[in-house]
Each structure stands twice: as structure tokens, then as C-alpha cells.
């Protein structure tokens, strides 16, 4: 793992020139959550390689190149989305609290609001993007939504529990997109997918 404070953010990874922008990694993570079959996985790999690597990769090298891509995706630190926007690390969640596709408007708005970064135009290194995403202030709409989704209502009185359960339902992620087994965090789900290639 690299140190964001002292190391230069790489534009070359394991001997190959790469596009380190957040877009290829977000694209990958959106699709890993939606892969259902081995054919889907094969299509995902074939599509991900040219998005990430600058130079063409021979098809015979796709498995090794995809493993390298996965290491880059994980190389900036833990993919701990459960703490996004909450200002602190939270306990493991039964349900994911962030989806890059469903929350894209909120992510773009939060980066503009908190950092003055226009994600629709600016290039942001993946590792920097993750660090900024994890550090978003809880006052942003995304921070509030993530907090609502992750809120444990079990110890609340009935009125507060009903209030938060209504909000959780309002901001819930679509069930069909989760692909996460009960008691499995989003991070564990994505790691399990990516580990199949590592």
C-alpha cells in the first residue's frame, strides 16, 4: 500500500502505463456488483483492460493484467465504503450504504460542494478520489444519506426508530443491485469478486 502523503501517485503500474483516473475504477466497481455469471465476468475483464491500460494488452495476458488492475484498485487503501461520509469508521453493515451508480449525482454534488472539484470535468487519481470520498463532510447530502442508510435503529425508541426507518426506506438502494449476502458487507462482496482474479 502506498502512502498518499509521501508517495507520488502512480501513472504507471507494475511496468505498464495506466489511466489512473477514478472513472475506470468506478466503472469496474459498479459492474462487479452486477456480475451474475462467468460469461459476465469474462466480458467485464475484456472491457476493463482497455479502459485502464494505455497500451493494448494481448488477450493471452488478460488474466495477469486484470490481476494487476485489481491490485491497483485495492492499492490505495481499503475499499471501506461503509465509512464514507460519516466522519468515522462504522461497524460492519448488513447492507451497503453507497452505490457508485445510484449515488452518482450525490457524489458529484458532494465533491463540488466540499472540495470545488467538478467530477464531470476534472481528472482525479483513483487513490485521491477514494481518500476524498472517505473524508466527505457529513453535512453534504451524500454524507447524510450514507449516515441514514447505515443507522442502527435497534436501540431507539419507537418514534425515532419509525422516523429513521422511513428515511432508510426513502433512501434505500435497489435490492436487485446489492448482490450482497446477509451479514456480508459491500466491501467483503467486492473483495470476494476481485479475489477470484488475484
| CA–CA separation, 111 and 50 (whole Å) | 27
Q: β-strands 16-17, 12-13: how paired?
A: antiparallel
At 112-162, the pLDDT tens digits run 999 999 999 999 999 999 999 999 999 999 999 999 999 999 999 999 999
- What is the rounded average pLDDT of the residues 188-193? 58
- What is the rounded average pLDDT of the residues 78-101? 55
Helix, coil or strand: residue 21: strand
Lowest pLDDT segment from 47-56, 90-99, 144-153: 90-99
pTM, rounded to two decimals:
0.78
| CA–CA separation, 136 and 176 (whole Å) | 27
Whole-number pLDDT of residue 77: 47
- The helix-helix angle for 22-32 and 38-52 (nearest 10°) equals 180
Whole-number pLDDT of residue 195: 60
Query: Residue 165: which of 148, 177, 185 has the closest Cα?
Result: 148
- The residue with greater pLDDT, 50 or 90, is 50
Question: In the predicted model, is pLDDT for residue 184 greater than 50?
Answer: no
- What is the rounded average pLDDT of the residues 33-41? 84
| CA–CA separation, 42 and 130 (whole Å) | 26
Question: Which residues 6+ apart lie within 8 Å of 156 measured at CB?
Answer: 164
At 3-30, the pLDDT tens digits run 888 989 999 999 999 999 999 999 999 9
Lookup result for grid cell 461520509: 85
Question: In the predicted model, is pLDDT for residue 56 greater than 90?
Answer: yes
DSSP per-residue letters across 133-157: HHT--TTSHHHHHHHHHH---TTS-
- The residue with greater pLDDT, 195 or 129, is 129
Q: How far apart are the first and last CA of the chain?
A: 16
pLDDT band at 178 (very low <50, low <70, confident <90, very high): very low
Mean pLDDT, the chain, rounded, equals: 84
Amino acid at each position: 500500500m502506498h502512502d498518499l502523503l509521501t508517495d507520488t501517485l502512480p501513472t504507471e503500474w507494475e511496468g505498464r502505463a495506466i489511466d489512473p483516473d477514478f472513472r475506470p475504477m468506478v466503472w469496474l466497481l459498479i459492474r462487479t456488483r452486477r456480475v451474475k455469471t462467468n460469461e459476465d465476468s469474462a466480458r467485464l475483464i475484456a472491457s476493463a483492460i482497455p479502459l485502464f491500460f494505455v497500451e493494448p494488452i494481448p488477450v493471452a495476458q488478460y488474466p495477469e493484467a486484470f490481476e494487476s488492475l485489481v491490485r491497483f484498485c485495492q492499492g490505495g487503501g481499503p475499499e471501506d465504503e461503509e465509512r464514507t461520509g460519516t466522519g468515522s469508521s462504522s461497524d460492519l453493515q448488513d447492507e451497503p450504504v453507497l452505490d457508485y451508480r445510484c449515488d452518482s449525482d450525490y457524489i458529484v454534488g458532494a465533491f463540488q460542494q466540499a472540495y470545488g472539484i467538478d467530477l464531470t470535468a476534472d481528472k482525479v487519481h483513483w487513490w485521491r478520489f477514494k481518500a476524498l470520498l472517505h473524508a466527505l463532510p457529513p453535512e453534504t447530502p451524500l454524507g447524510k444519506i450514507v449516515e441514514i442508510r447505515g443507522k442502527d435503529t435497534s436501540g431507539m425508541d419507537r418514534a425515532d426508530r419509525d422516523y429513521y426507518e422511513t428515511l432508510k426506506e426513502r433512501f434505500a438502494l435497489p435490492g436487485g443491485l446489492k448482490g450482497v449476502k446477509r451479514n456480508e458487507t459491500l466491501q467483503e462482496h467486492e473483495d470476494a469478486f476481485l479475489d477470484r482474479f488475484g
